[in-house]
Amino acid sequence: MFNKKSLEDVATEEKQWQKLFKDYTLKAPERLKRFSTVSDKAIKNIYTPLDVEDLDYPKEIAFPGEYPFTRGVQPTMYRGKLWTMRMFAGLGSAKDTNERFHLLVNEGQTGLSTAFDMPTLMGYDTDSPRSRGECGKCGVAIDSLKDMEILFDGLPIDKITTSMTINPAASILWAMYIAMAEKRGINRRIIGGTIQNDMLKEFIAQKTFMCPPKPSMRLITDTVEFGTNEVPRWNTISISGYHIREAGSTAVQELAFTLADGIAYVDAALERGLDIDAFAPRLSFFFNSHLDFFEEIAKFRAARRMWARIMKERFKAKDERSLWLRFHTQTAGCSLTAQQPYNNVIRTSLQALAAVLGGTQSLHTNSLDEVLAIPTEEAATIALRTQQIIAEESGVANTIDPLGGSFFVERLTRDMEEEAFEYIKKIDDMGGMVAAIERNYPQMEIADAAYKYQLQIDSQEKTVVGVNKYISEEDIPVEVLQIDEELEEKQIKWTNEVKNKRDNNRVKEALEKLGEACQGDDNLMPVIIETVKEYATEQEITDIFRDVFGIYRDPGVY
Amino acid sequence: MGIAEKIKTGDIRSVARLIRDIDDNILDAREVLKDLYSSTGNAYVIGITGAPGVGKSTLVDQMVNHLRKAGKTVGVLAVDPTSPFSGGAILGDRIRMQRHSMDEGVFIRSMATRGSFGGLTQSTRSSIDVLDAMGKDYVIVETVGVGQDEVDIVRSSDTTIIVLVPGMGDDIQALKAGILEVGDIFVINKADRDGVDKTVSDIRLMIEMGEKRYKNGWKPSILTAQAVFDSGIKELLDEIEKHRLHLSSNKEMLSTLRYEKVKSDLSEMIKDKIVKEILGDIIDSGEFEDAIKSIIDKKTDPYSACDKIISAKLKANVK
Amino acid sequence: MNKERRVRILVAKPGLDGHDRGARIIARTYRDAGFEVVYSGLHQTPEEVVQAAIQEDVDMIGLSSLAGAHLYLLPRVVELLREKNADDIVVCGGGIFPQEDIPKLKDAGIKEVFTPGTPLTEIVDWVRKNVSPRG
């Protein structure tokens, strides 16, 4: 892209400038011994055309909507439609969360996103002894289809899309959603949304797991197949890097492990006999937006380019939509502090801005009190306004991929792609992600990165404002959301009522049918939907999964 | 009820506390061990060793599962290395056996090597006795096999199992020096990995070549397993049982084994006590440092310094 | 020779919460500080935590909680320790605790609670001052 003579001139000038720089620093040293990103990647004092001297614009960067999609997956991006403002929400009972959903929609969010409580996430009903003390504390409690019906009451699910963050029990909760929609007369072919349904990252990072990797992959492939054939507007996997990053990985690891997970899912679906262009367009991704502004933007751009290349060259996909890496972003929860919580508004804003400049399809912004409890209405509203101000006031969405062409950003994008592909090769050599997980490889990498980062904070090599620098003596108190302590009892009572009212013979038959189906090879989604329609509870179904598929226990990699 | 009595009835707290006292060199613990000795000799001790990452803990977990189903009680000692830099340790083997933690018939204890002088420590050996006296049918000792450990574990176990994974290649060569004297059963875990056949034949070759050196006339067996999938475990326990029968089949061999074990226990104990008493004393008193200084200053040599210290100490009272 | 007892700590994750980044870091930190750490892994019931603590004869249990179930889980561990006459074992919490819950936890017998941003050195110092190997 640059001609040879100009580059030579730049090289000469840079040499002189670096000498000048050095002279200055002899008088007054640089303010840090080492400049690095939050992932500890060293950053130079200046980036010039020399850093991207062989940049091939048409091949490497191209235009939005054009292979390899570095600048964006759709041609119009935010000029056509802003990213979806999708705030993750869930608390207490289905009714409590339904209220929060209505509030957020009224305040202008454009998509729904559901957080479930630990028992629901782990496949236990509220009345399980393992669930004691956990009901509704970190998300909404769902025991049966009845709760699902209340959760989405009054919301236009035929017009807006719903994301559900659920993994081991994804097939079950999705079945409940489909059943709930159909009961409202809404055809499954028009409902749109996402289930996270990414078990590989559970084994690596988030650790809400239930059954071992192989049967988990079977269930996931069943959902992909079912979605391809019956629920075409649904994203059946949200291949996630967010949690990998939250567990302490570097940006490159987040990128590499996420795409490696994606490769594993594609392999599994192809093995099932599905046609790549039939299911690939509905694979979606979920990334973290962390503290280092430019590293994150480069990561998002590299991700798009890498996935396009992987889908085209490795998997020979033909349909252009199979090459698109569409992603949701959440700002980094692990970067927020309990000290001086109002600072978190600024952190979230910067992280949201990075996600927008990185071209995300949808965005959740964390609330300032996220470190302390489930967000209050006020805090969640500020988080939503953050997105709205970026969208309407800042002007960054006026043009597509505004940072494209920056020497620094293009160089970072390239570096991240290169380093991430190295990781992917390592994982391929191990036999793929499932094998790598069994060897505890990604888990160990993450544990090491997390420990290293903590040591850097404790030694003040890396600064956390309000925690290891600029500490305030008095803390401004923040009001924190409380979950009704009586909720657990109420929920148990309520679910018992549901159990009494339903036809228990039909439930028994459905569960038996499910048990047999699990032993066979048929797609389980139809029979799961039938079972939830009888108001079987989540655990009645997961007990069967655990029985047939086995239980996965934490191998305790530290 | 005295501590020894409590332990014989299986009281968990007493067992746990005694093991701690033994580990921490508390003198009173020794008295309890004296009381307990007559109640030892009933448990069958299985030693399991192998490089980190081969799946020992998962294997132990499955073995415990099978043994419990057969109505046997089990004590497990999981030994992990102490960090040479900090003196601390992360003891993480227990995690893979956690499903047995609420089973009253299973006692799991994690120990660190606290390895100043390497190998299976005296406290591990004594802890085996405690679990034995507690009434456990089996005691399984899991250690990381690095040189010294492997040889030590033999002296304390009835059956010693060496765990490998396919493709270890050069590592087997490195182990070979002591391996035949050590292993009664070789288990190749993660047997679904590439290279399993070669690993089996490598070991088989070593075993064939070492025919004259078979321990107690038992030709070491080679088994494969996938501990994670509970595959090969039943076969392993059957093989252990075969070994057990072999050992008890010959009265002469039994009495030789008993002799060797007591001999080894006693000499290790004496060595251990001497080191703790003498070396410990002179380090505390500063005599050790002084001796080192003298040697460096060429006022004396290590041989003379050593003789001087020992003869002085031997004259003094050893408690 | 080291005649002192080593401090033994059980680091445990009670309940269904799977966020173990902090627990694993603190385990390493304790090791680097010279303690012996038994790491329990995820998804432990309070009963399993107490059973492990007793079998391992630890001096302290560090409970990690980030999903809001602390008001039940942490006091329950203390309760079970009392039932088993093992309440000489110090119990601490680490993770996400709203300020108003901390006095409740302390009343229930949790000796100290470490919230986000506490430097690791501070935690280690606290342990050295407040936890002595059983004497």
Q: Which residues pair with A285 in a beta bridge?
A: A239, A327
Please name the member of B92, B99, B228 whose beta carbon is closest to the beta carbon of A556.
Answer: B92
How many Cβ pairs closer than 8 A exist between chain A and B? 13
Question: Residue A137 and residue C121: Cβ atoms within 8 Å?
Answer: no
Chain B closest CA to C14's CA: distance in Å? 13
Does C135 fall in a domain? no
Please name the member of B90, B96, B99 whose beta carbon is closest to the beta carbon of A555.
Answer: B96
Give the whole-number percent of chain B exceeding pLDDT 90: 47
Same domain (yes/no): A26, A160: no
Same domain (yes/no): A14, A28: yes
Among A135, A138, A199, most C C-beta atoms within 10 A, so best to mutate, is A138
Question: Residue C41 and residue A556: Cβ atoms within 8 Å?
Answer: yes
Among C56, C84, C87, most B C-beta atoms within 10 A, so best to mutate, is C56
Does A465 fall in a domain? no
Same domain (yes/no): A195, A341: yes
Separation of alpha carbons A72 and A62, rounded Å: 10
Given a contact cutoff of 8 angstroms between Cβ atoms, the answer to whether B175 and B233 are in contact is no
Residues of chain C contacting B284 with CB distance shorter than 8 Å: 1
User: Closest-CA residue in chain A for C71?
Assistant: A133
Give the CATH number for residue C63: 3.40.50.280
Domain span at residue A10 reads 4-57
- Predicted pLDDT of residue A470: 93
Q: What is the DSSP string of B80-95?
A: EPPPTTTS-EEE-GGG
Separation of alpha carbons A219 and A66, rounded Å: 34
Using CA atoms, how far residue A546 sits from A170, A220, A491, A527, B57, in Å, is 14, 16, 24, 17, 23
Question: Residue A133 and residue C71: Cβ atoms within 8 Å?
Answer: yes
The encoded tokens of residue B300 equal 């004396």
Please name the member of A553, A555, A556 whose beta carbon is closest to the beta carbon of B99.
Answer: A553
Q: Tell me the helices (H) and strands (E) count for chain B, helix number first.
A: 13, 8
Domain span at residue C99 reads 8-128
Structural domain count, chain A: 2
Question: Residue C96 and residue A372: Cβ atoms within 8 Å?
Answer: yes
Same domain (yes/no): A34, A175: no
pLDDT category at B250 given cuts 50, 70, 90 is: confident
Given a contact cutoff of 8 angstroms between Cβ atoms, the answer to whether A351 and A291 are in contact is yes
Does A180 fall in a domain? yes
Among B95, B101, B192, B230, most A C-beta atoms within 10 A, so best to mutate, is B95
Does A542 fall in a domain? no
Same domain (yes/no): A208, A335: yes
Does A500 fall in a domain? no
Question: Is the pLDDT assigned to residue B153 strictly greater than 80?
Answer: no
- Establish if C35 touches chain B: CB-CB under 8 angstroms: yes
Using CB atoms within 10 A of its CB, is residue A173 exposed (0-12), middle (13-18) or buried (19+)?
Answer: buried
Given a contact cutoff of 8 angstroms between Cβ atoms, the answer to whether A96 and A116 are in contact is no
Residues of chain C contacting A131 with CB distance shorter than 8 Å: 16
- Predicted pLDDT of residue B177: 57
Does A510 fall in a domain? no
Does C100 fall in a domain? yes
| pLDDT tens track for A119-150 | 999 999 999 999 999 999 999 999 999 999 99
Question: Is the pLDDT assigned to residue B147 strictly greater than 70?
Answer: no
How many Cβ pairs closer than 8 A exist between chain A and C? 106
Same domain (yes/no): A27, A123: no
| pLDDT tens track for A200-211 | 999 999 999 999
Question: Residue C119 and residue A468: Cβ atoms within 8 Å?
Answer: yes
Separation of alpha carbons A230 and A208, rounded Å: 27
- Establish if C133 touches chain B: CB-CB under 8 angstroms: yes
- Residues whose CB falls within 8 Å of the CB of residue A449, separated by 6 or more in sequence, listed in order: A39, A248, A249, A250, A253
Given a contact cutoff of 8 angstroms between Cβ atoms, the answer to whether A322 and A277 are in contact is yes
Given a contact cutoff of 8 angstroms between Cβ atoms, the answer to whether A151 and A94 are in contact is yes
Same domain (yes/no): A43, A69: no
Q: What value does the mean pLDDT take over residues A171-198?
A: 97
Separation of alpha carbons B112 and A543, rounded Å: 38
Please name the member of C31, C34, C51 whose beta carbon is closest to the beta carbon of B90.
Answer: C31
Residues of chain B contacting A558 with CB distance shorter than 8 Å: 90, 92
pLDDT category at A193 given cuts 50, 70, 90 is: very high
Same domain (yes/no): A67, A47: no
| pLDDT tens track for A495-514 | 999 999 999 999 999 999 99
Same domain (yes/no): A34, A133: no
pLDDT category at B117 given cuts 50, 70, 90 is: very low
Question: Residue A130 and residue C73: Cβ atoms within 8 Å?
Answer: no
Among B18, B98, B272, most C C-beta atoms within 10 A, so best to mutate, is B98
Single out the residue in A442, A458, A474 at which a domain terminates: A458
Does A484 fall in a domain? no
Chain B closest CA to C103's CA: distance in Å? 31
Question: Is the pLDDT assigned to residue A70 strictly greater than 90?
Answer: yes
Q: What is the mean pLDDT of chain A?
A: 95
Would you say the pTM of this structure is higher than 0.90? no
- Establish if A556 touches chain B: CB-CB under 8 angstroms: yes
- The separation between the first and the last C-alpha atoms of chain C, rounded to the nearest angstrom, is 19
Q: Which H or E element spans position C96? A: none
Residues of chain C contacting A467 with CB distance shorter than 8 Å: 117
Question: Is the pLDDT assigned to residue B19 strictly greater than 80?
Answer: yes
Single out the residue in A430, A458, A486 at which a domain terminates: A458
Question: Residue A130 and residue C24: Cβ atoms within 8 Å?
Answer: no
For chain A, list the contacting chains (3+ Cβ pairs, <8 Å). B, C
- Residues whose CB falls within 8 Å of the CB of residue A354, separated by 6 or more in sequence, listed in order: A289, A293, A294, A296, A297
Residues of chain A contacting C67 with CB distance shorter than 8 Å: 118, 134, 137-138
Using CA atoms, how far residue A319 sits from A266, A277, A303, A316, B259, in Å, is 15, 6, 19, 9, 77
| pLDDT tens track for A398-453 | 999 999 999 999 999 999 999 999 999 999 999 999 999 988 899 999 999 999 99
Give the CATH number for residue A442: 3.20.20.240
Q: Is A521 helix (H, G, I), strand (E, B) or coil?
A: coil
Q: What is the DSSP string of A63-96?
A: -TTSTT-TT-SSSSHHHHSPPEEEEEE--SSHHH
C89: DSSP letter: S
Does A528 fall in a domain? no
- Predicted pLDDT of residue C97: 87
Question: Residue A137 and residue C117: Cβ atoms within 8 Å?
Answer: no
Chain B closest CA to A554's CA: distance in Å? 7
Question: Residue A553 and residue B96: Cβ atoms within 8 Å?
Answer: yes
How are strands ordered across the β-sheet holding B138-144?
Answer: B106-112, B74-80, B138-144, B44-50, B159-164, B185-188, B221-224
| pLDDT tens track for A455-465 | 999 999 999 99
Does C2 fall in a domain? no
Residues of chain B contacting C6 with CB distance shorter than 8 Å: 23-24, 87-88, 112, 114
Using CA atoms, how far residue A313 sits from A34, A68, A70, B228, in Å, is 38, 11, 16, 35
Q: What is the mean pLDDT of chain C?
A: 92
Lowest-confidence range among A55-69, A316-330, A522-536, B42-56?
Answer: B42-56
Please name the member of B95, B99, B228 whose beta carbon is closest to the beta carbon of A556.
Answer: B95
Chain C closest CA to B25's CA: distance in Å? 7
Please name the member of B90, B92, B98 whose beta carbon is closest to the beta carbon of A553.
Answer: B98
Structural domain count, chain C: 1
Does C1 fall in a domain? no
- Predicted pLDDT of residue C99: 85
Question: Residue A371 and residue C116: Cβ atoms within 8 Å?
Answer: yes
Residue A502 φ then ψ, to 5°: -80, 170
Question: Residue C115 and residue A247: Cβ atoms within 8 Å?
Answer: no
Does A554 fall in a domain? no
Using CA atoms, how far residue B28 sits from A67, A149, A547, B21, B35, in Å, is 76, 66, 49, 8, 11
- Predicted pLDDT of residue C98: 85
Same domain (yes/no): A69, A53: no
Among B22, B110, B279, most C C-beta atoms within 10 A, so best to mutate, is B110
Longest CA–CA separation in chain C, Å: 47
Residue B94 φ then ψ, to 5°: -55, -35
Same domain (yes/no): A171, A258: yes
The residue assigned the tokens 């933007």 is A297
Single out the residue in A418, A441, A458 at which a domain terminates: A458
Same domain (yes/no): A40, A75: no
Q: What value does the mean pLDDT take over residues C103-130?
A: 94
- Residues whose CB falls within 8 Å of the CB of residue B71, separated by 6 or more in sequence, listed in order: none
| pLDDT tens track for A78-90 | 999 999 999 999 9
Among B97, B108, B193, most A C-beta atoms within 10 A, so best to mutate, is B193
